[in-house]
Structure formats: C-alpha cells, structure tokens
Amino acid sequence: MRCSKIYEDDIHNQLEANELQQPQPKVMCHRNCASTYTSKHHLKRVCKRKSACESSPISPKKTRRSVSIAFSFQDQCIFCGNDCRLEKDMKNPLRWRQAYLFRETEGKGARKTMKLTLLDICKKRNDKWATQVAQRVESAISDLHAADARYHVDCRCAFTSSRSLQSASKGPASKPVDKALDCLISDMKSNITQVWTSVELFQSYVDYGGTVLSRKTLMSYISDHFGPKLLILSAPGIANIAVFRSKASDVLRLVNDEEDDLDAAISKISKQIKQDVSSMPVDKTSYSTFIDCESAMRNVSSTVMDLLTCLSSKLDRTLPAVFLASIITGSLSNHPTHLQVALGVLIRSSKELVNQLHAFGVTCSYDEVLRFKKSAALATTHDACLSGISNASGGLVQVVGDNFDADISSQNGKQSTHSLALLLTQTDQCSVQDMSQNIKRVKKTDMSKAIEYEVRIQRYNGPKKPEMPQSAACKSVLPLRVLIQQSLSRKKGGQC
C-alpha cells in the first residue's frame, strides 16, 4: 500500500476495501511482478521524476512545420499525403489510383494562381484537413507546377467540390440530445459497484423513456462515454456484462493475458481459411491445361493471400505467396491444386523426387501425374485438335525424326545399313486457338484400360538387330575392276 500511494494508482484503495471485508485478505500476484512493483530503484526513479516536474515544469518543445511534417511533392499527394504514383501498375491495374501533376499555374478565371486558389479553399473549409493541405501548399517556394506537386483525382474532387465545402464549413454535426441516455449514465455513475447486463441496461433505458437507440447501439454509446473506466465482457450465447474497472476486483478476478487474444485471433483466421476452402468449387472431373499466376490465385484461399501480404511486401500477390497458399489449400481440400499438378508434371521423370515433394505438400503424388498423362493421351485421341497436327498444306512447322539399323546383302561386303526416317507435320493455327483449356480426368478404374488410337499402332517386339533371311542372302559376282583391285591389294600386302 505504501508503494501504491507513491505510484498514485488505485491499488491501495482496493486493498483497503478488501481489508474491511476480510480481516486477513489474500492477494494473488506473480513473484517477479511484486519484486518489480516494490523495487527501491523504481520507487526512487518515480520520486525523482515527481520532484523534477514540480520544481521545473518543462514547456513543450516548439518545432518548425518542416520538421514536424515530412512531405515530398515528388512522391506524395498534396491532399491526402499518401504515396502518389503517376505510372499505372500493369501487374495490379485495379489498385492504381488515378494521379496527375499540377500542370496549370493559374486557377479558374485566370485571376489567381493555383496556389492561392487552394489556400482560399482551405480558408473556406476551416477544418483539420484544410490545415494540413494549407501547410503543404505554403511550403512550396514557387508555384505548384514548378515544385512538381501531384494529386489523386478522387482526393482533389473530395477536397474542392462544392458539396464538400458546404459540409466542412458547417463543422461536425452535434449529437442529438437523448434524455433517457443521460439519465441512464447518471444512474450508472451513482452505482459504480453494481454489475449490469446489456439486457438490464436496455430495459432501464426504455423505462426512462428512450426509444432512439437499440440495445447494440446503446452499449456502444455507453462504452464510448466511459472509455477504459468501464469493462464490457462478452461471450458467445450470453448477454454482455458491464462493470467499472475500479470495482471489478470485488466481484471478478481479472488477469491481463495477451495469449487469449492471440488464440482468439488465430482461431478466427483458421475458421475463415477453412470457410474459404470449403466454399471453393473443387473440380475432380477435369484437369487444366493452362496455368499462370492469376489462374493459380483463383484456386487458393483469399484469406491466406491477405495474411501473407500483411507479413511482407515480398508476398503481396507474388509467386512465392501463391506457392505457399497452394500448399495450404491443397492440404485442407484433400485434392491437389492446379499448381501442384503442374509442378508434378514438370518433374515427372523422377518418381522418387515427385513422391518426396508430395510428402512436403509441394506437388501432387506420382499416381496423380500418371493419371494426368493418361487423361492427356485419351483427350488427344478423342479430339484431334489437342494434338495440334494436321496436313502440311500451309507449310512445314514440326519435324519428327528417327533412325534404325538393318542387315542387308551388299556388294561391298558390309551386310548392314543405317537409315533415317522423317515425319513432317504442320500445326493448324485455327485449331490451336480453339483448343480447350480443360481435359477430362480419367477415373481410377480406367487407368489400366488400353488407349484406342484413331490410327492403329503396332509395336515391334522382335530382336533389335534381326538376322537376314537365307533367301535374301544371295551374293552376286563382283565386277572385274573390283576383283582386280582386291587382287592387287592382297599382293601388296603379301610383299609387305
């Protein structure tokens, strides 16, 4: 109690009230909190601060306008003071606010400069916003055009329009007088030890003749009137409870705990994310053949994207943000997103790598990759436009080549040859433009069925280098010139 009187707080009053009710009251507190509160070092600091304030009161330091308000004509709007970009953001065009530079040096009628015209408008408005704008305009050494001043179009209209001038000149609207509300507030001040519910307060308000406010609006007015002196306790399913903070310890045990607020915020965000995922339509009957950043964002939770934007500007609708949101959305929906399927198809050559990344939620499973390949193959057999192959009447676009070896009977004694076969095709541009961006997803039971191609394909299952049949192995007599050359070559070799 001695320390409380030095700190000049309300704890000693509460302890005295508890002592009157109980001969030996018990106080629950943390050990470190009690040590800090009763520390001699802290008490000396408070006493020293009080004596310094009583002996030499410090007057507020005067600052210049240029020091107190940092404003840049080249970067900020002269009306609202926020960032003002003249160039349109092509990545996010809907977020761009239309902005321009001050091109004119004179106002309407060519009687006053734009600088004086804005100052006159500020005098007519005579509000807080006008004071801020006047300080910025007066800080310009020359005219606004020379200072490269800029503005948002909506801000200029809101500041200089006739309707805005009329509403600003009238000043803030006075609150209507409600005698029933005043009687209720005075009743609460006279009974600060009482605990009220919102139902009781509203009934008292009605008994005093109040008909303007609803119960929810009434609680808002009472909370704004008393401020932090009044505690409003709420819980799902029960009416709100109102009690004065100074007397709350008599009937309630209050402990400051930020963890409960954090847990409530986490629970609220998680519920919103689950609601977003459950409300998103999951198409399990088709695959998307086209994907970009915009289409990938449409298949993830918008709440997750907003949360990542609040964490860092690097995660503001960027590819890493879409990647993280895709992992969360895929885990909650128990179905791979378009981005996860696309990443799995890109690395389809390694089954082990795909399954490992699938364990981390990065890609879809390898079975899903095989399902996509099967679906793509079936889609091309049913729709020739998806293959992009047509006749070559319009010119050569695509070349497919392959080689093969064969054993034959030849006159030079080499009984093998190496041949090359080419297939020339052309892509029909009209069919590519009309190509669908979705293909049908094959059912799991149809994965083992063979694909029925439009063109019959017969695979060769024989040996890689078949032996030449005996009927075709007929060696003819070589020409005389060749025989003479062979004979001379043998003689020269024998002499050597």
Domain positions in the chain: 2-55, 66-170, 179-251, 261-387
Q: What is residue 161's DSSP assignment?
A: S
CATH code that applies to domain 179-251: 1.10.10.10
- H or E stretch covering 231: strand 230-235
- 276 Cβ contact partners less than 8 Å away, ≥ 6 residues apart: 301, 302, 303, 304
Helix (H, G, I), strand (E, B) or coil at 258: helix
Burial 228-260 (b: 16+ CB within 10 A, else e): eebbeeeeeeebbbbbbeebbbeeeeeeeeeee
Alpha helix stretches (DSSP H) within 298-456: 302-311, 319-333, 338-346, 351-359, 366-382, 384-387, 429-433
Helix (H, G, I), strand (E, B) or coil at 465: coil
Give the separation between CA 194 and CA 200, rounded to whole angstroms: 12
Give the separation between CA 485 and CA 314, rounded to whole angstroms: 79
Res. 103: pLDDT tops 60: yes
Res. 270: pLDDT tops 60: yes
Residue-level pLDDT at 470: 66
Give the separation between CA 324 and CA 305, rounded to whole angstroms: 9
Confidence label for 246 from pLDDT (cuts 50, 70 and 90): confident
Contact between residue 406 and residue 419 where contact means Cβ atoms under 8 Å apart:
yes
Give the separation between CA 290 and CA 435, rounded to whole angstroms: 11
Res. 60: pLDDT tops 50: no
Indicate the range of 209-213, 352-356, 447-451 predicted with least confidence: 447-451
In the chain, the percentage of residues whose pLDDT exceeds 70 is 74
| Side-chain-side CA neighbours of residue 225 (13 Å) | 16
Helix (H, G, I), strand (E, B) or coil at 143: coil
Region 37-50: mean pLDDT is: 76
Q: Please provide residue 411's backbone torsions phi and psi, each rounded to the nearest 5 degrees.
A: -75, -25
